[in-house]
């Protein structure tokens, strides 16, 4: 089975931006565990969540959930604001856009990539 041909300009746009490629890979890697996907879905549904509530909803040990939260935070997908004595986590708006645009381009290579200013919010369940 042959792959559809990609125009030269589109191919250059897909591979030329090393920083974009690194960002997309970091997001994908951070989402590469079912527990982290579940945490992101939870935060998408609730908009924000206290750490202990995440532990309860995910059903894993507190230390395991903390490690998953650390990975998501390091990738820039979530943020944690300290509200003594707890931390309230939420999704970073637009943080998943690079991965979403990349996946959209794979699914529909004829459609142009989005500009940074036209992204749907990260909470948009494309």
CATH code for the structural domain at 20-109:
1.10.10.10
Distance, in Å, from the CA atom of 60 to the CA atom of 1, rounded to the nearest integer, reads 43
User: Rounded mean pLDDT of the chain?
Assistant: 81
More confident site: 10 or 24: 24
More confident site: 106 or 68: 68
DSSP symbol at 74? H
Task: Identify the bridge partners of residue 80 per DSSP, sorted by sequence position.
Answer: 89
pTM: predicted TM-score of the whole model, two decimal places: 0.71
pLDDT level of residue 106 (50, 70, 90 thresholds): confident
With the C-alpha atoms ordered 68, 30, 98, 2, is the resulting torsion angle positive or negative?
A: negative
* In the chain, domain spans: 20-109
| pLDDT tens for each residue of 23-78 | 999 999 999 999 999 999 999 998 878 888 899 999 999 999 999 999 999 999 99
- Predicted confidence at residue 83, as pLDDT, reads 79
| Contact status, residue 92 vs residue 99, Cβ threshold 8 Å | no
């Amino acid at each position: 089975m042959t792959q559809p041909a990609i125009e030269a300009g589109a191919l250059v746009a897909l591979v030329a931006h090393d920083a974009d490629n690194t960002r997309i890979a970091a997001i994908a890697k951070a989402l590469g565990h079912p527990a982290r996907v579940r945490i992101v879905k939870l935060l998408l549904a609730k908009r924000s969540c206290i750490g202990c509530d995440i532990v309860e909803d995910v059903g894993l040990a507190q230390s395991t959930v903390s490690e998953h939260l650390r990975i998501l935070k390091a990738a820039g997908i979530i943020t944690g604001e300290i509200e003594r004595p707890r931390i309230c986590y939420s999704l970073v708006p637009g943080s998943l856009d690079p991965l979403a645009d990349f996946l959209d381009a794979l699914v529909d290579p004829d459609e142009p990539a989005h500009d940074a200013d036209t992204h749907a919010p990260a909470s948009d369940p494309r």
